[in-house]
A = this chain, B = another copy of it.
Amino acid sequence: MDLKLKLHEYLASKGYKKTKERDLILRLISSTKGHFDAEKLYANAMRMNIPASRASIYRSLVLFKQAGIINESIRQDGKAVYEVSTGRAHHDHLICVKCGKIEEFSDNVIEKHQEQICGKYGFLIQEHRLEIKGICKNCR
């Protein structure tokens, strides 16, 4: 697996150790499609008899984030959600307030326009986050 390699390289570069828990949690994550949170990950681990404590889950999430394997974002209820980092272009989110589904989109016009705005304010852009909340096609 590609992600496993990425993790092992990161661990080696930092002098950290390769452990079965980290590998197992990573495998769990990479088989997850879409977004997930720590608790869901822990529940899945339990369900699959993967021996990983909550602490290891949380610590692994920090680690994977540092390694650039996953991205974290904080939802409007204050909880953290994660997704596997793709090499793809930055994308934004459409969040359905009825069913909770998160759809992704990316749009160049908006990206470019942000740069213009930042230029106007003398602002050096590092990252951005655009979330649109509403009701998805199925729920209407």
Contact = CB atoms under 8 A, between A and B. Distances in A.
Interface of A: 73-80, 94, 96-97, 103, 105, 107, 109-110, 113-114, 117-118, 121-137, 140
A70 B94 CA distance: 24
Nearest to A78: B78
Given A76-B74, A118-B94, A123 B132 contact: yes
A83 to B, nearest CB: 15
A134 B129 contact: no
Given A94-B118, A107-B113, A129-B130, 10 more contacts: A74-B77, A76-B129, A105-B117, A109-B109, A109-B113, A122-B137, A124-B136, A126-B134, A126-B135, A128-B132
Contact of A129 (B113, B118, B131): B131
Contacts of A80: 78
Contacts of A77: 74
The 7 closest A-B pairs by CB, nearest first: A122-B137, A126-B134, A124-B135, A125-B134, A128-B132, A78-B78, A130-B130
